[in-house]
């Protein structure tokens, strides 16, 4: 096993006439909605919080998830050093948190009533949603982003609770808009 923090660098040829342009790629992906997560960590120094629409479950046994973060993000340097993270799976009442983690130049930890630290040190925004704490077991530097693979250690959810049980639907990001799922959106 790679030591935690190992980064594998995936070399991909520079964009050329043989691949989609960035504009065409983004346009195609506007057809593709995603759940919304906020990733927090504190590798020493200041805590970070970053909104991502790339979180996905990889494997249930062992419990692995992955997300990617742009190399441009101000939080990425700290995130690369983190051995553990907390991912928050956002519901519609946590739109403020999604927006907070996506806004540049703000102190995302300014309001001490909104977050606390877990006994293990990571910052957590406990306001109503599901979160999962995990250990970063692998990173792949791919193009302009870093894919982080995380082994899930603990969660505040139980088999009985979910965003549905709370009556608040999950948040979805699509084509630069926010949506909420409900019985009305079911087909």
- Taking CB under 8 A as the criterion, which residues in 93-112 touch a second copy? 95
Subset of 26-55 contacting a second copy (CB under 8 A): 26-35, 37, 53-55
Helix (H) or strand (E) run with residue 37 in it? strand 37-41
User: Which residues in the 50-89 window bind a second copy by CB under 8 A?
Assistant: 53-66, 68, 70, 89
Stretch binding a second copy (CB under 8 A), from 40-48, 74-82, 107-115, 125-133:
125-133
Could you say whether residue 172 binds a second copy (CB under 8 A)? yes
Determine, following the binding rule CB under 8 A, whether residue 17 of this chain makes contact with a second copy. Answer: no
Contacts of 39 (CB under 8 A, 6+ apart): 48, 49, 50, 52, 55, 67, 69, 79, 85, 86, 87, 88, 101
Taking the C-alpha atoms of residue 184 and residue 187, their distance in angstroms, rounded to an integer, is 8
Q: Does 151 bind a second copy (CB under 8 A)?
A: yes
In the bound complex, what is the minimum distance in angstroms from residue 178's beta carbon to a second copy? 5
Residue 35, classed as helix, strand or coil, is strand
The region of 78-86, 110-118, 119-127, 166-174 touching a second copy under the rule CB under 8 A is: 166-174
| Residue 130 near residue 88 (C-beta atoms within 8 A) | yes
5: contact with a second copy by CB under 8 A: no
How many CB atoms are closer than 10 A to CB 59?
Answer: 12
The SS3 of residue 77 is: helix
- Report d(CA 48, CA 95) in Å as an integer: 18
Q: Using the rule CB under 8 A, which residue among 4, 5, 14, 136 binds a second copy?
A: 14
Closer residue to a second copy (CB): 35 or 109: 35
Give the count of residues interacting with a second copy (CB under 8 A): 87
Q: Which of 42, 130, 136, 148 binds a second copy (CB under 8 A)?
A: 130
């Amino acid at each position: 096993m790679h030591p935690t923090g190992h980064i594998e660098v995936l070399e991909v040829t520079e964009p050329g006439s043989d691949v989609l342009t960035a504009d065409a790629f983004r346009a195609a992906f506007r057809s593709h909605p995603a759940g919304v997560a906020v990733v927090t960590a504190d590798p020493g120094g200041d805590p970070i919080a970053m909104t991502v629409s790339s979180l996905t479950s990889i494997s249930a046994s062992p419990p692995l998830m992955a997300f990617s973060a742009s190399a441009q993000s101000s939080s990425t340097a700290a995130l690369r050093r983190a051995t553990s993270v907390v991912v928050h799976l956002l519901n519609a009442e946590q739109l403020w948190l999604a927006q907070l983690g996506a806004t540049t130049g703000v102190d995302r930890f300014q309001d001490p009533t909104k977050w606390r630290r877990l006994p293990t040190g990571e910052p957590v925004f406990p306001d109503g949603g599901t979160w999962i704490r995990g250990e970063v077991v692998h990173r792949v530097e791919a193009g302009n982003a870093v894919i982080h693979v995380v082994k899930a250690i603990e969660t505040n959810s139980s088999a009985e609770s979910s965003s549905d049980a709370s009556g608040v639907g999950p948040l979805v990001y699509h084509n630069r808009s926010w949506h909420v799922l409900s019985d009305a959106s079911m087909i």
